Amino acid sequence: MTLSPINRRRLENFRNNKRGYWSLWVFLGLFVFSLGAELIANDRPLLIRYKGELHYPLWQTYPETHFGGDFATEAEYKDPYLQQLIVEEGDGWILWPPVRYSYDTINYQLKVPAPSPPSAENWLGTDDQGRDVLARVIYGFRISILFALVLTGASSVIGVVAGAVQGYYGGKVDLFFQRFIEIWSGLPVLFLLIILASIVEPSFWWLLGIMLLFSWMQLVDVVRAEFLRGRNLEYVRAARALGLSNRLIMFRHILPNAMVATLTFMPFIFNGSVVTLTALDFLGFGLPPGSPSLGELVAQGKANLHAPWLGLSAFIVLSLMLTLLIFIGEAVRDAFDPRKVQP
Amino acid sequence: MIAFVVRRLFQAVIVMFVISLLSFSIQDNLGDPLRELVGQSVSEEERQALRDELGLNDPFLTQYLRFVGNALEGDLGTSYFFKEPALDVILNKLPATLELVFGATLIIILLSVPLGVYSAINPRSWFSKTVMGMSIVGISIPVFLTAIMAIYLFSVELNWLPSYGRGETVPVFGSWETGFLTKDGLLHLLLPCASLASIMLPLFIRLIRSEMMEVLESEYVKYAWAKGLSPLRIWFLHALKNTMLPVITVGGVQIGTMVAYTILTETVFQWPGMGFLFLEAVNRVDTPLIVAYLIVVGAIFVITNTLVDLIYGLVNPTVKLAGKKS
């Protein structure tokens, strides 16, 4: 891929911002790491060797009878008896993921009442239902990022299209949309989100849709301004004179100019999405009960003040994630800033 | 200018109209008022008669107009749970929330102006750099996280400050009870106000700093230097005045946002204010209360936003042009 000189300069600017550049890598690293959450924190082993054969419990369900147990139900790998069967009778071994709990595994072998403090078994302790905090944090991080990613993507697409249509056609369309947005953004968003979330059955996609109702407006203004400016430039007029369709002119010829504004806003929209999701989760109007959500962990930390590891884990993960995003956002914004001339 | 004012007021009315429409559709779709009024043992015919009597069978528009008419007279329905007029319930809780917002605003003003001005005047000092660094982190951490960490630190570990409730309050007039006049009340205010302020404070420090730096570059400030005025006079009399202009606008808009954020702060500190009440109402499906709350908060939003725009229009002559153009 070849980059135009201006994009090369922007990339260079971004790289020169050490803080933002490294934040991006750390963030990407954590994200990729969390994508493989099933391989890191799971209550099933990654690999079992039993009677000379390899088994993959992550991908396949084996009944307990398969390993010489008594039940026809799925094998309970955390059961010491079954482990003994596999290792001794089957002359095999078990390869566990680093964290032997999934986000919904309940540790019934706790020696202290849940929430239990960090121990060799549960590195960050357990929550008030005896679930491993570390596993929940890893899965929670992933779901937050994925949610924010989809929300940011969707609101960017809607925002860009709305802004493009508004700015390109101008006139009455613009006026109408502008008034509509002024009204729509005058509403108390958080309250409406809470009411809407309390009406519907909470689920990932419902929540996404509800938030999308309000989040798409953030980009409209900048994209609109860019299109208003661009519609009368010489090259756009030339394109129109050549008989190109409006859609082609909008998205092929003007949009690239508007992408700069869009890109600089994205990390901040992303950040806002994570915060809103966590806030709703915290208040109990977010993701369905039982999902590994960081907001729920915060709520637990608040409810169990005698168990600081709950609040602390949530605090550290969330503030790390959000601070990284802000650093990235600032670096991107600076990199695209035309006033910043490369020496 | 008049056109600008009229346009702005018209827009405020429309926003309130949309809010009332939304509130009404929520009321219309959430729960059945009959279920709350009568028990299980009432026959279907009697229910129908009651429906007719209450006007629940009227067309949507008639019902909506009645709803608006009542709302304009201050009648927003009766709370299912409290068995009191919803507006009264909310107004009883309003002082607690307002005190929270007031305390937070006080903290923001007292800290952001000196810090912002200092870091604009000495952008290279280590103190300014620390303030700027902290403010980035501060912007990115949501208010409920700050609040919980503050509770851990100051209430659980150090045991200096109380972590929930309003503490001792004294009645001022009517149902207004204030926590500002007792030591206990002030101690209870400290953590919630600081947490609520934490989300806005970095924003204001950065805003004041960047505005101030811009103003310090301007011609008239250079001229003031050339005249040999004392630095204090230039900074605080000449420069600060123009710095505060955009700060006022942003500040006004943020008051609306802050009212929204009190929900989170109040939940963490179990502060008996409006936000806490709202969450309880949502959990109890106390529809009249939810609707009344939405309208009251919507009104607060709309009034602050409109006032800020109008004041800004009065203070800043360039706005007139913008008003004319569109």
| Cβ contact, residue pair A305, B297, below 8 Å | no
Q: What is the mean pLDDT of residues A13-33?
A: 88
User: Which range, of A84-88, A192-196, B139-143, averages the lowest pLDDT?
Assistant: A84-88
pLDDT digits (tens, 9 = 90+) for A124-154: 888 888 788 888 888 989 999 999 999 999 9
CB neighbour burial string for A194-222, b if at least 16 within 10 angstroms, e if fewer? bbbbbeeebebebbbebbeebbbbbbbbb
Out of A329-343, B80-94, B110-124, the most confident range is B110-124
> What's the pLDDT band for A234 if we cut at 50, 70, 90?
confident
> What's the pLDDT band for A2 if we cut at 50, 70, 90?
low
**Measured between CB atoms, which of B26, B144, B148 is closest to A279?**
B144
Tell me if B63 sits within 8 A of B55, measured CB to CB: yes
Q: Which residues contact A38 (CB under 8 A, 6 or more apart)?
A: A58, A102
Reference A338, options A277, A246, A257, A276; nearest CA is A257
Phi, psi of B272 (to 5 degrees): -75, 60
Residue with tokens 């008022």: B33
pLDDT digits (tens, 9 = 90+) for B17-36: 888 888 888 777 666 666 66
Query: Interior CA angle at B311 toward B310 and B317, to 5°?
Result: 90
B19 Cβ under 8 Å from any chain A Cβ: yes
Q: What is the mean pLDDT of residues A287-306?
A: 84
What are the Cα distances from residue B282, in Å, to B40, B229, B292? 24, 59, 12
d(C-alpha A130, C-alpha A106), whole Å: 5
| Cβ contact, residue pair B152, A311, below 8 Å | yes
d(C-alpha B117, C-alpha B245), whole Å: 14
- Give the nearest chain B residue to A175 (CA atoms): B326
**Measured between CB atoms, which of B14, B264, B297 is closest to A183?**
B14
> What's the pLDDT band for A6 if we cut at 50, 70, 90?
confident
% chain A with pLDDT above 70: 98
pLDDT digits (tens, 9 = 90+) for B177-199: 776 767 777 778 888 888 888 88
Tokens standing for residue B206: 């950065």
Residue A343 has pLDDT above 50, yes or no: no
Tokens standing for residue B118: 């200092």
% chain B with pLDDT above 70: 87
| Cβ contact, residue pair B290, A275, below 8 Å | no
A338 burial via Cβ count (<10 Å: 0-12, 13-18, 19+): exposed
Q: Which of A283, A285, A333 to mutate to test binding with chain B, by most B CBs within 10 Å of its CB?
A: A283
pTM given for the model: 0.82
DSSP letters, A255-305, are HHHHHHHHHHHHHHHHHHHHHHHHHHHHHT-SSPTTS--HHHHHHHHHH-T
Q: Which residues contact B28 (CB under 8 A, 6 or more apart)?
A: B60, B63
User: Which range, of A227-236, B145-154, B231-240, B308-317, averages the lowest pLDDT?
Assistant: B308-317
- Give the nearest chain B residue to A178 (CA atoms): B326
Residue B308 has pLDDT above 90, yes or no: no
B177 forms bridges with which residues in the sheet?
B171
Q: What pLDDT does B35 receive? A: 65
Tell me if B165 sits within 8 A of B273, measured CB to CB: no
Q: What pLDDT does A88 receive? A: 76
